[in-house]
């Protein structure tokens, strides 16, 4: 996407194995596949970043969620998981992982032999050139993570589908056995006799800590409670084993004796890879107690880069192609995509305002309805105002900047009233991004 037709034709390929014609073909492919899947990829990456952050900032949200256990940004999380259409949506989204992998590999192929592309970025250049340079530069440096996001994202949906369908081949005798193979043997059923004494959970927890010092417990469940066949299950994460807590479990009998342990460790390579998929995709680094926060930050930054790469790619494509476009092409390839994307950004920030409204005014707001309403209205407004697109973008930037600053200021005020200052890093991030939007919007307005 970051290369013009003329640029491409002018490339000096003397001594290079790749011919101009082939490079041109790679460029066309990268450009058209990116243009076709770009809008959807942007939506997936944008909602993915919110899902990633939501996992870490539960406490930050909590102050706004006095009446509801549900997260305010639940619509964005569901959008990322399954597009609100359940399992088919999950499969559909995972196919975009393949598209992202294809686009990324084509991009690398296009620029692999041009070393200067790996370092070139002139921030003082016109917007179009900055976009092209940053698209290329970030794309090359973030490539391992782009592939990582695409493969783990694809496996998140296709893995589940493959487990169900291929079990007929690998477990032809009884396909249901695949789940027992995956999750381990189930807990024995209740005996039907009342227990004589309840389990000493605190003693079991202490014993577990001694037996498994590299294990961080996260959840304690009592199975068959009240029955003689009751079991205490401690699930959590084992340090150094990339596995979510549903696969890392220690089960104790009623008398405190260790009954069974479940772990992804020492299992087959491919099965371990599948088990590791969820924590890796969702940036859950609890299994790295010392470096977890660092790798989460890298994960978040790379996800933001991926979003920037997609956004800048779309920007380049829309700006470059419109000269030859007919009216319907402008509608389909410019107005609708810009409307959808700006609507999504505006609606996401609208959810922050919605959270404050619930807390301050104590009213019920259906966050999903609000989210889609703002998205739809902004998309329509963008399409109608497309002739004044620069003015529209200034309004959008100023409004988004205002929402982010307002939210963080209200949150900080509430924290100060309560006398606690926790999770202010989120507020600082919101203030920073909001201020940048306001400054950029004001500068564009004055220009």
Partner 1 sequence: MFKQFIKASIIVIGTLLSAILFSMLLAKIMPSQDAINRLYASIYLGLIFGIAVMIWSCLPKEFMPRFYRSWGWIIMIAPILIVWGIK
User: Which residues contact partner 1 by CB under 8 A?
Assistant: 25-26, 29, 33, 36, 98, 101-102, 105-106, 151, 154-155, 158-159, 162-163, 166-172, 178, 181-182, 267-271, 273-274
HSE-up of residue 41 (Cα within 13 Å, Cβ side): 32
d(Cα 335, Cα 66) in Å, to the nearest integer?
39
CB of 94 to partner 1, least distance (A): 10
d(Cα 395, Cα 178) in Å, to the nearest integer?
54
Q: Which residues contact 322 (CB under 8 A, 6 or more apart)?
A: 330, 334
Q: Which is nearer to partner 1, 96 or 215 (CB)?
A: 96
CB of 118 to partner 1, least distance (A): 22
Residue 316 CB neighbour total at 10 angstroms: 21
CB of 428 to partner 1, least distance (A): 39
Q: Are 55 and 282 in contact (CB under 8 A)?
A: yes
Q: Which is nearer to partner 1, 3 or 106 (CB)?
A: 106
CB of 179 to partner 1, least distance (A): 10
Q: Which is nearer to partner 1, 8 or 222 (CB)?
A: 8
d(Cα 135, Cα 115) in Å, to the nearest integer?
15
Both tokens assigned to 8: 């491409």
Q: Which is nearer to partner 1, 180 or 439 (CB)?
A: 180
CB of 31 to partner 1, least distance (A): 12
CB of 145 to partner 1, least distance (A): 16
Q: Which is nearer to partner 1, 162 or 226 (CB)?
A: 162
Q: Which is nearer to partner 1, 155 or 280 (CB)?
A: 155
d(Cα 158, Cα 93) in Å, to the nearest integer?
10
Q: Which is nearer to partner 1, 150 or 367 (CB)?
A: 150
d(Cα 178, Cα 35) in Å, to the nearest integer?
40
Q: Which is nearer to partner 1, 147 or 220 (CB)?
A: 147
CB of 235 to partner 1, least distance (A): 20
Q: Are 121 and 129 in contact (CB under 8 A)?
A: no
**φ, ψ for residue 109 (rounded to 5)?**
-60, -40
Question: What does each C-alpha distance from 184 to 234, 248, 250, 263, 388 come to in angstroms?
Answer: 15, 10, 12, 9, 60
CB of 109 to partner 1, least distance (A): 8
d(Cα 56, Cα 214) in Å, to the nearest integer?
22
């Amino acid at each position: 996407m970051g290369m013009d037709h003329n640029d491409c034709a002018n490339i000096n390929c003397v001594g290079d194995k790749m011919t101009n014609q082939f490079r041109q073909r790679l460029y066309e492919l990268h450009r058209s596949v990116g243009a076709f899947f770009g809008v959807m990829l942007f939506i997936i990456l944008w909602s993915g970043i919110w899902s990633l952050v939501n996992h870490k900032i539960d406490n930050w949200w909590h102050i706004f969620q006095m009446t509801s256990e549900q997260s305010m940004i639940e619509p964005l999380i569901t959008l990322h998981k399954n597009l609100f259409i359940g399992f088919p949506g999950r499969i559909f989204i995972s196919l975009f992982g393949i598209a992202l992998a294809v686009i990324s590999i084509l991009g690398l192929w296009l620029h692999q032999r041009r070393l200067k592309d790996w370092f070139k970025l002139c921030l003082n250049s016109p917007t179009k050139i900055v976009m092209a340079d940053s698209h290329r530069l970030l794309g090359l440096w973030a490539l391992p993570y782009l592939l990582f996001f695409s493969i783990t994202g694809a496996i998140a949906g296709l893995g589940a589908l493959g487990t169900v369908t291929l079990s007929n081949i690998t477990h032809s005798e009884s396909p249901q056995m695949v789940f027992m193979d995956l999750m381990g043997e189930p807990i024995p059923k209740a005996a039907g006799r009342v227990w004589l004494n309840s389990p000493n959970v605190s003693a079991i927890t202490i014993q577990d800590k001694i037996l498994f010092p590299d294990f961080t417990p996260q959840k304690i469940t009592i199975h068959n409670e009240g029955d003689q066949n009751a079991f205490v299950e401690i699930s959590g994460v084992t340090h150094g084993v990339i596995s979510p807590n549903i696969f890392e479990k220690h089960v104790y009998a009623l008398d405190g004796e260790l009954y069974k342990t479940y772990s992804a460790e020492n299992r087959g390579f491919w099965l371990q890879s599948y088990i590791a998929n969820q924590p890796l995709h969702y940036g859950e680094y609890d299994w790295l107690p010392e470096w977890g926060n660092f790798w989460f930050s890298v994960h978040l930054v790379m996800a933001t880069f991926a979003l920037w790469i997609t956004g800048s790619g779309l920007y380049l494509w829309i700006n470059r192609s419109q000269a030859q476009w007919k009216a319907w092409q402008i509608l389909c390839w410019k107005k609708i995509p810009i409307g959808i994307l700006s609507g999504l950004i505006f609606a996401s920030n609208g959810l922050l305002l919605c959270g404050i409204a619930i807390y301050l005014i104590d009213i019920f707001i259906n966050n999903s309805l609000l989210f889609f309403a703002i998205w739809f209205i902004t998309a329509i407004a963008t399409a109608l105002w497309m002739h004044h697109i620069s003015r529209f973008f200034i309004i959008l930037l100023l409004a988004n900047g205002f929402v982010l600053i307002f939210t963080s200021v209200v949150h900080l005020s509430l924290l100060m009233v309560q006398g606690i200052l926790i999770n202010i890093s989120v507020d600082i991030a919101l203030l920073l991004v909001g201020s940048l939007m306001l400054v950029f919007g004001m500068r564009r307005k004055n220009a």
